[in-house]
């Protein structure tokens, strides 16, 4: 669960309601990788604290809309939501770069490619073979903390419990977020004792295993290892 922190003092120059909206979006969608304080949980994620990279509005809007490197895209955000999120990160964590308006965002987005179609985890986004591979990898590395049933009950009672990775609680925790965000977070931070221990394909297969136990149907195409592609697959309850 992401903790909601108070808006920092450095944000006082921006519109309060915009900052509040941006903070909520950040806490739900971004903090899991970038950290509540803008300092990432893994070196692979860029720091947002006192970052000169946040000065250019066009770069921020483009990265939010279409993703970049291991950061998934968020094309479903409205212009107002992108403006709020951009304003929040530009005026938090020791930054003070000014406010971004929805009209600014609309102007930048108008020059960007529309991107691929957004899908749901219920659209058959992995294969049965991939899920079987994922079960093998998961049982060898993740079940100690998250449990063989992915329910958050560790197999080893001496281990701290991990969050549930399947079924209703998983869907509630990740509702509205993307498989791209889940993939990047898992790939670079899990397991805590040895993050990045497996191949990209193995991490994607573990996500397929999670989806299978959640009840999402398999399809004909394996789940991609590219966060820019899996970022277009949203997690949520069955329609």
Q: What is the CATH number of the domain that holds 165?
A: 1.10.760.10
Q: Which residues of the chain, if any, have pLDDT below 70?
A: 1-13
Q: Are residues 145 and 78 in the same domain?
A: no
Split into its structural domains, the chain has a count of 2
Q: Is residue 60 part of a domain?
A: yes
Q: Is residue 4 part of a domain?
A: no
The whole-model pTM stands at: 0.87
Whether the Cβ atoms of residue 47 and residue 38 lie closer than 8 Å to each other: yes
What was the pLDDT predicted at 113?
Answer: 87
Q: Are residues 141 and 97 in the same domain?
A: no
The boundaries of the domain holding residue 165 are: 119-234
Q: Is residue 190 part of a domain?
A: yes
Q: Is residue 2 part of a domain?
A: no
Whether the Cβ atoms of residue 130 and residue 186 lie closer than 8 Å to each other: no
Which of 88, 109, 130 represents a domain boundary (last residue)?
A: 109
What was the pLDDT predicted at 83?
Answer: 98
Distances (CA, A) of 123 to 28, 215, 233: 23, 11, 9
Q: Are residues 219 and 135 in the same domain?
A: yes
Which of 42, 76, 109 represents a domain boundary (last residue)?
A: 109
Which of 54, 83, 109 represents a domain boundary (last residue)?
A: 109
What was the pLDDT predicted at 2?
Answer: 36
What was the pLDDT predicted at 8?
Answer: 38
Q: Are residues 77 and 156 in the same domain?
A: no
Q: Are residues 97 and 127 in the same domain?
A: no
What was the pLDDT predicted at 13?
Answer: 57
Distances (CA, A) of 23 to 7, 48, 64, 83, 90: 7, 14, 15, 12, 11
What was the pLDDT predicted at 141?
Answer: 86
CB atoms within 10 A of CB 237: 12
């Amino acid at each position: 669960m992401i903790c909601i922190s108070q808006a920092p003092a450095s944000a006082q120059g921006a519109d309060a309601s915009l900052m509040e909206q941006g903070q909520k979006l950040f806490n739900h969608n971004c903090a899991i990788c970038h950290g509540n304080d803008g300092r990432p949980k893994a070196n692979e994620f860029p720091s947002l604290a006192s970052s000169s990279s946040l000065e250019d509005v066009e770069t921020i809007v483009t990265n939010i809309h279409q993703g970049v490197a291991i950061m998934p895209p968020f094309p479903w955000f409205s212009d107002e939501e992108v403006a709020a999120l951009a304003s929040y990160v530009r005026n938090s964590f020791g930054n003070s770069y000014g406010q971004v308006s929805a009209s600014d965002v609309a102007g930048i987005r108008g020059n960007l490619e529309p991107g691929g179609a957004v899908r749901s985890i219920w659209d058959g986004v992995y294969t049965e073979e991939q899920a079987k591979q994922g079960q093998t990898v998961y049982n060898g590395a993740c079940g100690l903390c998250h449990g063989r049933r992915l329910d958050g009950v560790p197999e080893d009672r001496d281990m701290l419990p991990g969050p549930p990775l399947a079924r209703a609680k998983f869907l509630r925790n990740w509702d509205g977020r993307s498989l791209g965000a889940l993939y990047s977070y898992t790939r670079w931070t899990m397991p805590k004792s040895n993050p990045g221990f497996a191949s990209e394909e193995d991490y994607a297969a573990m996500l397929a295993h999670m989806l299978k136990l959640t009840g999402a149907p398999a399809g004909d195409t394996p789940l991609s290892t590219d966060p820019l592609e899996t970022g277009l697959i949203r997690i949520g309850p069955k329609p």
